[in-house]
Amino acid sequence: MNNTADVVVVGAGIVGAACGEVLSGEGLRVAIVESEVVGGGATAAGMGHIVVMDEPEADYALTRYSRDLWDEFEPLLPPEVEFCRCGTLWVAADEEEMQIARRKAASYTRLGVRAELFDPAVLREAEPNLRPLAGGLLVPDDSIIYPPCAARWFVARAISRGALLHVDARVIELRNGEVLLASGGRISTGVTVCANGTWASSLVPSLDVRPRKGHLAITDRYPGFAHHEVVELGYLKSVHVPAAESVACNVLPRPNGQVLIGSSRQFGVTDARIDAPVLERMLRRAVEYFPGLARLNVIRTWTGFRAATSDRLPLIGRCPGYDKIYLATGHEGLGITTATGTARLIADLILGHEPAIPTGPYAPSRPTLGSAHA
């Protein structure tokens, strides 16, 4: 493989695929290089939640921008992407969490994001299989998708505009203006976008990205068991507390009636095998919220690796020390949502356009980052 491109995108997960779609749409000659298959890594492992976070400010800005971009894509998405605007239902186990729900409701409203507080009776009506809880907060305009098909659709659009896709092609080295492949091939390129999730750290030394393992389980089809993406408000604690291991109830209905059950977070693990005690804790947590889950058949369990940074914001922008290498990774658990915004910002940065939102918080050169190897 000896050829040239304006932009090489390393990685055809949802982020790389979205980058290929936007960059090819700008008229650039794009090559997408994927070590395995399109949408096969963390993209295939994730839940497919498109969610607006109300805080911190940098999370809000990117998730809101990205959700709006998803909404623009929605009429174009093919049926297999399974876009479903089921809304996020944050549920409160007790009065303390209900206070958080009220604070978030005010915050979303201030930001112009529709949000609605549920008392226990309304919550019960909305999700009859939940055990009695203190209440909830519905963000009705959040959505779910089936991410691997979304990645494939982005790649297909890029190809229709002349982009080249190389699958089963592993990149072994990035240089300014050149990408070296394990096959011995090389691609001369104007710029390179490194969008291969947690594996970016194998190409860029000292990158502040480390794997945060997650487990998921999916049931057979039980239509009507759940109606929203249901997330316990305690989830926010489990995400933000950098504990070695945590679980939270996160349950969503697939459009075909299957129930997808998460979530777990583990640092310091690179073994992809199912960790039975963690899976058990995760399922027990979900059953605490949805007792009826215990009677459903789980038909598949799997794991994936989120690309986590030390300050919990993604890396979007030029890679320090390189003129022509850009990073689009470190999205941790929000990569499905923020793929669209990331791709747009990367294109704006490469082309020198004014981005729609400030990119400083995501700049790989920001001082709040450390080194995963430090």
Partner 1 sequence: MPETVRLTINGKPVSVPVGTTVAAAILRGGEHVFRRSVSGMPRGPLCGMGICFECRLTIDGRSHQPSCQTPCRAGMDIRTDGL
| Residue numbers at the binding site for partner 1 (CB under 8 A) | 220-223, 256-257, 295-297, 299
Kindly tell me which of 65 and 225 has the beta carbon lying closer to partner 1: 225
Give the residue with the Cβ less far from partner 1, 63 or 219.
219
User: Residue 174 or 252: which CB sits closer to partner 1?
Assistant: 252
Burial 159-185, CB ≥16 within 10 A → b, else e? bebebbbbeebbbeebeebebebeeee
Answer for the pair 86, 144: CB distance below 8 angstroms, yes or no.
yes
- In the complex, what is the shortest distance from the CB of residue 294 to partner 1, in angstroms, rounded to a whole number? 12
CB of 30 to partner 1, least distance (A): 35
Q: Count CB atoms within 10 A of the CB of residue 126.
A: 19
**Beta-ladder partners of 306:** 212
Q: Provide, rounded to whole angstroms, the least separation between the CB of residue 255 and partner 1.
A: 10
Give the β-pairing of 186-194 and 325-329.
Answer: parallel
Minimum Å gap between C-beta 77 and partner 1 is: 19
Return the number of the residue (140 or 257) whose C-beta is nearest partner 1. Answer: 257
Tell me the closest approach of the beta carbon of residue 153 to partner 1, in angstroms: 20
Residue 270, helix vs strand vs coil: coil
Pairing, β 135-139 against β 116-118? antiparallel
First to last CA, the chain: 36
Least distance from partner 1 to the Cβ atom of residue 131, Å: 20
What is the rounded CA–CA span in Å between residue 374 and residue 366? 16
Secondary structure class of 213 (helix, strand, coil) = strand
Of residues 257 and 320, the one with the C-beta less far from partner 1: 257
User: By C-alpha distance, which of 332, 248, 252 is closest to 282?
Assistant: 248
Nearer to partner 1 among residue 296 and residue 334 (C-beta): 296
Residue pair 332/167 in contact (Cβ under 8 Å)? The answer is no
How far apart are the C-alpha atoms of 321 and 334, rounded to whole Å? 27
Query: 271 burial class (0-12, 13-18, 19+ CB within 10 angstroms)?
Result: exposed
Q: Which is nearer to partner 1, 273 or 295 (CB)?
A: 295
Minimum distance from CB of 221 to partner 1 (Å)?
5
Q: Which is nearer to partner 1, 222 or 267 (CB)?
A: 222
Nearest-angstrom CA–CA distance, 301 and 108: 34
Structure-token pair, residue 139: 């963000």
Q: Closer to partner 1 at the Cβ: 170 or 221? A: 221
Minimum distance from residue 125 beta carbon to partner 1 (Å): 22
Per the structure block, which two tokens stand in for 239? 């995400």
- 279: which 2 tokens? 């899976």
Q: Please, are residues 264 and 238 in contact by the beta-carbon 8 Å criterion?
A: no
User: What is the nearest approach in angstroms of partner 1 to the Cβ of residue 227?
Assistant: 17
∠278-151-26 over CA atoms, to 5°?
140
Taking the complex as a whole, the smallest distance from the CB of residue 219 to partner 1 amounts, in Å, to 8
Nearer to partner 1, 136 or 253 (CB): 253
